[in-house]
Amino acid sequence: MRNLALVTAALVLVGPFAARAADKPAVDPAKVDAAVIAAFPTAPPEWHSRFVQDETMKECSLHENSPPKAVADAIQKRERARIEYPADGKLVGDWKEGEKLAQSGYGLRFTDYPPRRVNGGNCYACHQLTKAEVSYGTIGPSLLGYGKVRNFSEADTKAVYEKIYDAQAAYPCSNMPRFGANKVLTVDQIKDLVALVMSPESPVNK
């Protein structure tokens, strides 16, 4: 909330339509909201929060994921403030559990209610991680050997935790979900994913 003033200032400076080039079609945001809600006529009331965008979503949508510097800085500052760290200060969990989470795309989809399992991270959908798993996506960069090439450093371990918790704290308008900030994954699950990426024993680094 303390960033609200800053964001408001940024909004006033940039203006809601200023970012759009002249050749881009303009459309009333209220009309867009209405069209999206109308597309899900059977959505139960508890899903309606999904149609509401937070400030970061609004900015990234408006700027088509290429925000001007002032907006990017504001997003980064706001998202950084949302990162919560484990109470015991330990950032590395169990890579074997992390591998399971990386494989699982379960959770929060319309067909996943009521929940039957814990949410997954679905990392392989977008990232290459291990040599063994050949079915991986390429929307995100390959993470093969990620920890090894960084000498398993403490600073990089912390950075990985933060990127999984809230990718937009590192890269404003990143395509990657804000797993911790949006409560898709728990702190313990994120620690297991940090282990998958950063442990010397993990197949990611073999």
Kindly state whether residue 175 participates in binding other proteins, applying the rule CB under 8 A. Answer: yes
The residue from 65, 81, 90, 201 that contacts other proteins (CB under 8 A) is 65
Q: What DSSP character marks residue 150?
A: G
The residue from 144, 159, 170, 187 that contacts other proteins (CB under 8 A) is 144
Site for other proteins in 12-31 (CB under 8 A): 24-27, 29, 31
For the beta carbon of residue 184, count every other beta carbon within 10 angstroms.
Answer: 18
d(CA 94, CA 175): 26
How many of the chain's residues bind other proteins (CB under 8 A)?
39
Q: Identify residue 98 by its one-letter amino acid code.
A: G
Tell me how far, at minimum, the Cβ of 132 lies from other proteins, in Å.
Answer: 9
The residue from 48, 131, 154, 201 that contacts other proteins (CB under 8 A) is 131
Tell me how far, at minimum, the Cβ of 184 lies from other proteins, in Å.
Answer: 6
Strands (E) in 61-162, as ranges, are: none
The residue from 74, 98, 124, 161 that contacts other proteins (CB under 8 A) is 124
Tell me how far, at minimum, the Cβ of 57 lies from other proteins, in Å.
Answer: 4
Q: Identify residue 118 by its one-letter amino acid code.
A: V
d(CA 197, CA 101): 12
d(CA 31, CA 45): 20
d(CA 197, CA 25): 42
- Helix and strand numbers, DSSP H then E, in the chain: 8, 0
The residue from 48, 113, 183, 186 that contacts other proteins (CB under 8 A) is 183
The residue from 4, 9, 32, 118 that contacts other proteins (CB under 8 A) is 32
Find, among 64, 55, 46, 112, the residue nearest to 82 by Cα. 55
Give me the residues that bind other proteins (CB under 8 A), please.
24-27, 29, 31-32, 35-36, 50-53, 56-57, 60-61, 64-65, 108, 124-126, 128, 131, 134-139, 142, 144, 175, 177-178, 182-184
